[in-house]
Amino acid sequence: MKNNSIIISQVAKILMPFILVFGLYIVIGGADSVGGGFQGGAVLSAIFILRYLISPDRKIKTKILQQTEKILMIGILLLAMYFLGTSMNIGEKLGEIWMIFLNLIIAIKVCCGLSIIFFRYVFYEGRKFMSILSGYALGEITAIIIFFIGVYGIIARRNIVKTVIAFGVMEMGVILFFLSNGEGSLKAPILADTTDIVAVSDPIPQALMITAIVIGVGVTAVALTMFINLYHKFGTTNWEKAREARDKK
Amino acid sequence: MKDKQKSSFVNRNRKSIVMIVCIIMCLITLSSFMLFGSSNYDGKDDAKAYVLENHNTETGAKNAVTAIYLNYRLWDTIFEAMLLLLSAMAVIYFSWSLDHEE
């Protein structure tokens, strides 16, 4: 990416050590306080993503990450099977160090996995897989099916909370439809260098769907609050019973 | 009597009837989309081409999405923020009226 933003790359450079320390803190402190291997690993994988933002031209060696993840996965499985077989409680002997060790292993594994997913999307999937899919308009078909699942939920269910959930499902269908309708890209639009790519995603539905998502959150929040109010008044989650109770009053 | 029987039949099988109706509607929409809806606007989509060509020079943003929602469609963004404020007000109002009932 030739027109890489200087602001983003410099800020990312400053942030990187802090993220490393924070991720390690979450992992190591997971034995005593909030945190743990999975959460810390997710934070640590942000380092690799930031490294892509700093210098996107340099290809990362995903092979090493993949090997590490596989070996650690097998190692964790073998550890678990070993302790299942021998029924030996090593945790009692080693105490906290054992937990920190396990957390570290899990953190490195999760970090590798998330980074692999990210780099697969950036370097490979965006070019091959999506171009195959876009020929069949699978996104739109899925969106229509999801929308009608929501319609079914609204008509068939008499529970008020389920109606709210069905409304959210319908909303997601509409958003997916617009996003995949404007999709003609072979690469992610935001991080892409658009000079050497002919087909880019349509930015207009993307910008509009940001507002649609926020409005959906607002609608859901208000609907749920109204439901709580109604439940306190009539003591039911059923539309029909709530209407009957209201008519009696 | 007959009417009551019919209504009970409808009541008993309401979910399956609704499901069949939904599946039929879904199939109609899907088939019409497959027949008439085009997913690729190559060459026909003037707005997309215009935005992609001019967003950097007109708005100074490198990201086309940012250019749209902070410049071309600024009112949309502002009123969306207002709508969020409105929904927060509604939530506060409803939980307030819950506490202050006579």
Instruction: Please write the tens of the pLDDT for every residue from A114-129.
Output: 888 887 777 665 555 4
Residuewise pLDDT in 10s, chain B (102 residues): 455 556 677 777 888 888 898 899 989 988 888 777 655 545 456 777 777 777 778 877 777 777 888 888 888 888 888 898 899 888 888 877 777 765
A159 beta partners: A238
Q: Hey, is B5 helix, strand or coil?
A: helix
Sequence spans of domains, chain A? 6-125, 131-248
Question: Which of A 148-207 lie inside 8 A of B, CB atoms?
Answer: 148-149, 151-152, 155-156, 180-182, 184, 189-190, 194, 199-200, 202-204, 206-207
Q: Are residues B29 and B50 in the same domain?
A: no
Query: Across the interface, do A218 and B95 touch by the CB < 8 Å criterion?
Result: no
The domain in which residue B15 lies consists of 1-37
Contacts of A119 (CB under 8 A, 6+ apart): A48, A52, A60, A62, A65
Q: Is B91 on the interface with A (CB under 8 A)?
A: yes
B90 neighbourhood in chain A, CB within 8 Å: 222, 225
- Residue A192: pLDDT band by 50, 70, 90 thresholds? very low
Class of domain A131-248: mainly alpha
Q: CA torsion, points A229, A232, A238, A244, in degrees to nearest 10?
A: -100
Question: A-contacting residues of B 51-80, CB under 8 Å?
Answer: 51-52, 55, 62-65, 67-69, 73, 76-77, 80
Answer left, alpha or beta for residue A36, where phi above 0 means left and psi between -120 and 50 means alpha: left
B20 in the same domain as B45 = no
B85 shares a domain with B98: yes
Q: Do the Cβ atoms of A215 and B94 come within 8 Å?
A: no
Query: Does B44 lie in the same domain as B24?
Result: no
Query: Is the Cβ pair A156, B15 closer than 8 Å?
Result: yes
How sure is the predictor about A100, in pLDDT bands with cuts at 50, 70 and 90? confident
Helix A138-156 crosses helix B14-36 at what angle (to 10 degrees)?
Answer: 160
Residue B44 sits in the same domain as residue B30? no
Same domain, B86 and B44: yes
pLDDT at A151: 92
Expressed in angstroms, the distance from the first to the final Cα of chain A is 67
Close Cβ partners of B82 (under 8 Å, ≥ 6 residues apart): none
Which of B18, B65, B90 has its CB closest to that of A203? B65
Q: Please provide the average confidence, as pLDDT, over all residues in chain A.
A: 80
Q: Is B73 helix (H, G, I), strand (E, B) or coil?
A: coil
Task: Determine the distance in angstroms separating the CA of B69 from the nearest CA of chain A, rounded to an integer.
Answer: 6
Search chain B and give the residue with CA nearest A223. B91
Per-residue pLDDT at A68: 85
Number of compact structural domains in chain B: 2
In the predicted model, what is the mean pLDDT of residues A39-56?
Answer: 84
Tell me the CA end-to-end span of chain B in Å, nearest whole number. Answer: 45
Mean local confidence (pLDDT), A148-152: 92
Q: pLDDT tens across A52-84, in order?
A: 777 776 666 778 888 888 888 888 888 877 777
